[in-house]
Amino acid sequence: MSIKILFINGPNLNLLGEREQSQYGTVTYEQLKDLCIKKSNELDIKLEFVQSNIEGEIVTWIQKAKNKQDGIIINAAGFTHTSVSIRDALQIFNKPKIELHISNIYNREEFRKKSLISDVVNGGIFGLGSNGYILAIMAMHKMLLNENK
């Protein structure tokens, strides 16, 4: 039985490689998706990799994941700092969750230093660039294997 993980990407992440390369690097969204799927396949993880610029879609994905997924990795992007709705949906999802950010949100503008979701997830990865995505998959894999022992 393979592990099932929902990997959620928030607003503007579809523009990776184009926007603010000094913060987000040159890897495109499609390249990042391919790297994540490759790593997931190596670990026998069924990965659902999604992106939306719409808050309500993200909330719906989290709600639907309750009965389909073993864990969630989320880069809520700008919604990290503003969305009580995403926070509430994550709080209801009673399985492992990891918050992820390509940049270090705690080393940026003041308004980015507050995460509304950090207190409802199991852990976070910040500021490690696109490598953070691979580390998040590996960490979730280990969390779920340990949970099932």
81 is catalytic: no
Local structure of residue 41 (DSSP, 8 states): H
Contacts of 131 (CB under 8 A, 6+ apart): none
SS3 category, 137: helix
Cα dihedral value 103, 89, 95, 123, nearest 10:
20
141 is catalytic: no
Residue 100 main-chain phi, psi, to 5 deg:
-135, 140
Q: Which of 29, 81, 101, 141 is catalytic?
A: 101
Cα dihedral value 35, 37, 39, 42, nearest 10:
-140
**Catalytic residues, which ones?**
24, 101
